[in-house]
Amino acid sequence: MEKLKTTNTLLLIIVMPLIFYVLKILSFIFIPLVLSMFIALLFLPLMRWLTKMKIPKLVSILLIISIIAIVLKIGGVLVHYSSKEILAVDNTFVEKAKTKIVNLVISIEENFGIERIEGKSVFEHYFEKNDFTKYFGSTIDFLSNTLSLILMTAFFLVLWLLESINLQKVLNNTLLKQKFSSVKVFFKIEKDLIKFMKVKFIISLFTGIGVTLACLFFDVSFPIFWGLFAFIINFIQMIGSFISVILLALFAFVELDSTGTLLFFILSITAVQVLMGGILEPVFMGKSFSINIITILVMLSLWGYIWGIPGLIMAIPLTVFFKIIFEQFSSTKILASLISGSELIEYYPQKK
């Protein structure tokens, strides 16, 4: 038995990299499949209620698609307004930004002893070698991949809602052999992930609103764009808030003249991120969503490497999903404990 256990462990170690390799190679299938699963989980309670009200499934799905279309329309309107803000910028702002960047680069060069070719300006030295036309093809590829992702996600979403793909049956036929257990685990996964996504959406929304109001109060340009950016990137756990504050602080450095105003602006947007992400989010999430900070960083790195930006966004919901699965087996409960960062004493009781 001991040899069999060792053999199984070694096989698992060998198979895991292969599984991650397959997930990376077939990301064009797995990303929309998993993303659509999370979206479908949000609407499954509504689907069950509509079925209880004896409304045909086709009508129910059309209603859900309409709700999603309205949300996307609102997002499109915000993107449109933020684009108009950026396109309306005048040459004065651009020249001011260039001056600030040049002064900053010169200051860094003087402090760190960096030498620049004599007679060349900062932009000629650091940016002339970049051929920006090469990014045009990358942009076309990005738009093509995004459109493909949206269409495949919509296709899989309809399959989830029609129950052509049934997560509860998948769990029952693979990981959980007992029907009662699989039903119980499925509803726990549904409940916890819906709670996670709702709280994350609301926190991200208020974070975006807070950043927008801070930009308006301190007269920082493009408030709608920065609010929308903060809302979207806040879905990336931990890292998103840091990126939002750093980029907005750099932009404010270019635009704001007064050092005191810049300092108070940075403190304001940092306070918004700390209040929403550091205080309110853990309170609303509760202890069931407590995940070790090391686990968060590892999962962000892993899924970010495998699936890129979509992987960064789905890393924590996937971690919550696996944590719930691990809690169902005595042999893997220790992994669930490690993910949450809770004490391991119940698994390793002290001998008297």
CB-CB contact of 197 with 42 (8 Å): yes
**Considering the domain boundaries, does residue 38 fall inside one?**
yes
Confidence at residue 345, expressed as pLDDT on a 0 to 100 scale: 40
DSSP 350: P
What the block records as the tokens of 237 is 């756990």
Q: Angle, to 10 degrees, between the axis of helix 134-161 and the axis of helix 57-87?
A: 160
Find the farthest-apart pair of alpha carbons in the chain and give their distance in angstroms, rounded. 79
Number of domains the chain contains:
1
**Considering the domain boundaries, does residue 205 fall inside one?**
no
**Closest-CA residue to 240 (of 312, 334, 144, 150):** 312
**Closest-CA residue to 181 (of 336, 325, 340):** 325
Low-confidence spans in the chain with pLDDT less than 50: 131-133, 135, 343-352
Confidence at residue 178, expressed as pLDDT on a 0 to 100 scale: 61
**Considering the domain boundaries, does residue 46 fall inside one?**
yes
**Considering the domain boundaries, does residue 287 fall inside one?**
no
Confidence at residue 84, expressed as pLDDT on a 0 to 100 scale: 78
**Considering the domain boundaries, does residue 238 fall inside one?**
no
**Considering the domain boundaries, does residue 108 fall inside one?**
yes
State the Cα torsion 10-11-12-15 to the nearest 10°.
130
**How far is it, in rounded angstroms, from Cα 206 to Cα 277?**
10
**Considering the domain boundaries, does residue 347 fall inside one?**
no
**Closest-CA residue to 329 (of 178, 176, 171):** 176
**Considering the domain boundaries, does residue 43 fall inside one?**
yes
**How far is it, in rounded angstroms, from Cα 35 to Cα 313?**
10
CB-CB contact of 37 with 160 (8 Å): yes
* Beta-strand runs (E) in 42-164: none
In this prediction the pTM is 0.79
**How far is it, in rounded angstroms, from Cα 262 to Cα 328?**
51
Structural domain boundaries, residue 80: 26-117+137-165
**How far is it, in rounded angstroms, from Cα 237 to Cα 118?**
45
